[in-house]
Chains A and B, each alone.
Chain A
């Protein structure tokens, strides 16, 4: 006889483990932000954000004249999104999020993946994720993107 009680118990244990892993991952991002906040005097935030997936070119795009049809369809269908690790300067006049690395986190939490520049890192635990995020911040092309964010004109003060 199938042991449903055991399956239920295993499912609950797995759910608890997944919730703990996801909380652990969030804690790593909190830690990154705490340190970046001090290092940049509040000029840099890193977070996981959803961005619209780039649209694939269709035959209509190639035909050019059908652009109107495409934008009509785009209004009907909500854009597909994908998660990214993004950064912004909350003190800048333009405080929009900028994509740094493609992010993938399964329901179970681990292994989560960071893809940027010429790197695709799959992290199997907290220490691995912390190390991978540190390496991402130390990467030259990510460094340049962050530099641009830090150099943005600041919001005008209301005083």
Chain B
């Protein structure tokens, strides 16, 4: 079918590091201001339509919205620090392009322990009437749930099963998974249990698979050359004390098969990647700073039949 592009939808996920889901006082004004400035730049330069945030609390969101100063932006504040399980994610979206249909949170429970699987946000695209189901996740860190713990694959299976259930009703459903999984694209939880594959043609052929463009963001961004290396990144998260690498690609945006098909919304992989402005990079690789994640970007083209 011939399509003509009528616009795009830009997704950004960022674990801001401002308010981790642990009992801790709010971040300093200076750090909140820094996050606001970074987001303002991203909004100006890239023009996100859906901004999913991790490690935020309501006051951070208020500062971000005030700082962005855009009347088209709406917030779904899914944060909650009142219970034993603290929620730290939120979604800001452009209401001139999208409307919010519903939200709910998913948890996986093992004995008395509950783990956050994701926050589901269902959005309607104004231009085409299509529905996007977005699941924003901030999975537990490896200190709480080690990378070999059986709970991690269960979180991946849980999201795959959720996607399968949606596909039972709508085989070409547009599903976007975004977040800080505290797992790399090759981790069993994502690669084998969520079925977030590196193989585009497999994902296109079989909607049981999801396509994870962040497989392509695993290594050094720049070739070996000392001056270029100074600007490059080697993942989305930097941890000075990493055993085998200081860099991890924990932040990812993953797409359902429908975005690879001949359909009204199509993945634009040229505009998928890690957003690493130099001021943020400098902070991320500095131990005394709170920041340790880069934002990641995913873009889809919105098309109409021509």
Contact at B107–A120, with CB atoms within 8 Å? yes
Contact at B103–A125, with CB atoms within 8 Å? no
Please tell me the number of chain A residues within 8 Å of chain B, measured between CB atoms.
Answer: 16
Contact at B108–A127, with CB atoms within 8 Å? no
Contact at B111–A122, with CB atoms within 8 Å? no
Contact at B109–A121, with CB atoms within 8 Å? yes
Known: A118-B104, A120-B104, A120-B106. A125 touches B111 (CB 8 A): yes
Residues of B within 8 A of A127 (CB): 111-112
Contact at A120–B110, with CB atoms within 8 Å? no
Partner of B120, one of A111, A120, A121, A132: A120
Interface size class of B (residues with CB under 8 A): 10 to 19
A33 CB, nearest partner CB in chain B, Å:
21
Contact at A119–B103, with CB atoms within 8 Å? no
Residues of B within 8 A of A125 (CB): 110-111
Known: A127-B112, A131-B112. A121 touches B107 (CB 8 A): yes
B110 CB, nearest partner CB in chain A, Å:
5
A13 to B154, CA, bound (A): 22
Contact at B107–A119, with CB atoms within 8 Å? yes
B80 CB, nearest partner CB in chain A, Å:
11
B105 within 8 A of A: yes
Contact at B103–A122, with CB atoms within 8 Å? no
Closest to B107 in A: A121
A122 to B158, CA, bound (A): 8
Contact at B104–A123, with CB atoms within 8 Å? no
A119 to B109, CA, bound (A): 12
Contact at B109–A128, with CB atoms within 8 Å? yes
A104 CB, nearest partner CB in chain B, Å:
9
B264 within 8 A of A: no
Contact at B112–A119, with CB atoms within 8 Å? no
Closest to A56 in B: B169
Interface residues of A in 129-149 (CB under 8 A from B): 129, 131-132
Residues of B within 8 A of A128 (CB): 109-114
A155 within 8 A of B: no
Q: Tell me which of B108, B109, B114, B117 has the highest count of chain A C-beta atoms within 10 A of its own C-beta.
A: B109
A57 CB, nearest partner CB in chain B, Å:
13
Top 3 A-B residue pairs of the complex, sorted by shortest distance between their CB atoms: A128-B109, A120-B106, A118-B104
List B residues at the A interface (Cβ < 8 Å).
103-114, 117, 120, 154, 158, 162
